[in-house]
Structure 1
Amino acid sequence: MLSLLALVWLASAPVPVESPPTPPAPRPPPPQCVSSQGRTVCGYQCKTNGSHAACARTPYGVCQLLAGNIHCWDPPRVAIAHPDNSGTKPECKEIRGKVACGYNCRVANGEVACNGTPHGVCTTHFERLVCWDPPESVIHEHGADTPEPRCLTASEAVGCGYDCKSTRTEVRCASTPTGVCRLDQDQLTCFDPPSLLHCDHSAPPPPAN
């Protein structure tokens, strides 16, 4: 009888479904080489304009032909190791012969500027184009979930970062998401925790007695 019950239980028990194996990360494309005017260069995203050739140094870089010249740019290591969730790619933009390369490039009032990482922010104020990126320690800590910084303006002043505060003529921001800024009697004060804490994942020490 027990054997019969055991067989019935085994027949009715759910069969575990094995999840499919995680596919391996795609390998970067092999580097290439191009030649121009008897000179050969090798790398990635290589471009030539007939008289000059250039390549990015990493498969994460970008090369574009703008204003008659080749412009190549490679992201810093922190941007390669910690991309954002949207998969933002670097680019180059040009206006009136001025060229800038990076992320989230903006063109305004005859100026062009880009962020150095996909986690930065750009804004315009009083014909000024301002771009700001979080410190590398912040991006290393938060990775793709790095909190988005913001920009704040006051009169002709502009500042970007976290927990921004302003008076009528001044703007101050913290450099980290855990930083704080306070406005007290028209005085702005900002504080950021030491960068050594950004890599410390242990619990804080107990309060002193």
Structure 2
Amino acid sequence: MVTLALLVALHAGAQTQECKSAYGKTACGYHCLAAYGVIKCAEHPQGTCKAAYGEVACGFDCTAAFGKVRCAPDPGGVCKAAFGDVVCSGPERPDGAGWRGPNGRVDRWRADGSHDRPWRQAVEVPPQECKSAYGKTACGYHCQAAFGDVRCARTHKGACEVAFGKITCDDPPRWVVLAPDAPAMSCLTAYGRTACGYSCQAGYGDVRCARTPDGVCQASFGQVACSE
């Protein structure tokens, strides 16, 4: 398991920003690249830029295929070329709203490799994966391919289960993802249904799970009840 702090700090001090001029334009950042009348620079010292098919893209794990160039937006993201497309994802986004904060601004990595939201550097984030099947590609965690579909959990503490002709994926609340010692979700399948979470119980034709690790579920009196 790799800490996000290690990913963003590694070699950060060894890189310096640069400015590049071409085509009557100037851009500043890291690993700047000029091609096809465009100049672009990576925002993070570990980012890269790639030029292909008349495009220039900057980010992480940049991949060129099928006439497209795509890069993951943040460290830890991955890209995969399959079925005529290039699909990229960023690292897990436990705030549920991508990297956009509650005030609407987009978070940015600082030039020294740190980030303006410290909790994002403290969470241990294992590498994501991409899975391709049935002409589709999905990226994330615990990816599953079955029944003509491909799905992944958004966070490493989420879970996916294949049963009864479909793939069910779910993720815990943000605070669970950020808690270092919190366990990952699990899934339970019964009565033609699948639920993912914690303390899962099946009974009376129903399946339910608590949303958090300290929640509990109980099957009694004709129903399954769960706390949060």
Q: TM (normalized to structure 2)?
A: 0.65
Unaligned runs of at least 5 residues, structure 2: 1-8, 13-44, 96-119
Aligned residue runs from structure 1 range 37-52, under 5 A: 37-49=53-65, 51-52=67-68
- 1:164/1:173 contact within 8 Å kept: yes
- 1:154/1:168 contact within 8 Å kept: no
- 2:92/2:156 contact within 8 Å kept: no
Unaligned runs of at least 5 residues, structure 1: 1-24, 193-209
Aligned residue runs from structure 1 range 103-118, under 5 A: 103-118=141-156
- 1:154/1:171 contact within 8 Å kept: yes
Match of 1:174 in 2: 210
1:126 aligns with 2:160: no
1:153 aligns with 2:189: yes
SS at match of 1:134: coil
Report which structure shows greater RCO (CA 8 Å, sep ≥6). Answer: 2
Give the structure with the higher percent strand.
2
- Bigger CA drift: 50-59 or 28-37? 28-37
**Deviation at residue 102 of structure 1 after TM alignment:** 0.5
Match of 1:202 in 2: none
1:102 aligns with 2:118: no
Aligned residue runs from structure 1 range 1-209, under 5 A: 26-27=10-11, 30-49=46-65, 51-78=67-94, 81=121, 82-83=123-124, 88-140=126-178, 142-143=179-180, 145-192=181-228
SS at match of 1:163: strand
Query: Identity over aligned residues, as a percent?
Result: 37
Give the structure with the higher percent helix.
1
2:204 and 2:223 map into 1 onto residues whose CA distance is 11
Q: Which runs of 4+ in 1 moved over 6 A?
A: none
Task: Report the aligned-residue RMSD.
Answer: 2.2
SS at match of 2:177: helix
**Deviation at residue 39 of structure 1 after TM alignment:** 2.1
The amino acid across from 1:137 in the alignment is: W
**Deviation at residue 50 of structure 1 after TM alignment:** 5.6
2:66 and 2:171 map into 1 onto residues whose CA distance is 36
The amino acid across from 1:113 in the alignment is: R
SS at match of 1:147: coil
1:67 and 1:99 map into 2 onto residues whose CA distance is 8
- 1:36/1:50 contact within 8 Å kept: no
Q: Summarize the Cα distance change of 1:95–1:36 in structure 2 as closer, same or farther, 3 Å threshold.
A: same
The amino acid across from 2:166 in the alignment is: R
SS at match of 2:137: strand
1:175 and 1:122 map into 2 onto residues whose CA distance is 15
Q: Summarize the Cα distance change of 1:153–1:77 in structure 2 as closer, same or farther, 3 Å threshold.
A: closer
- Bigger CA drift: 71-80 or 115-124? 71-80
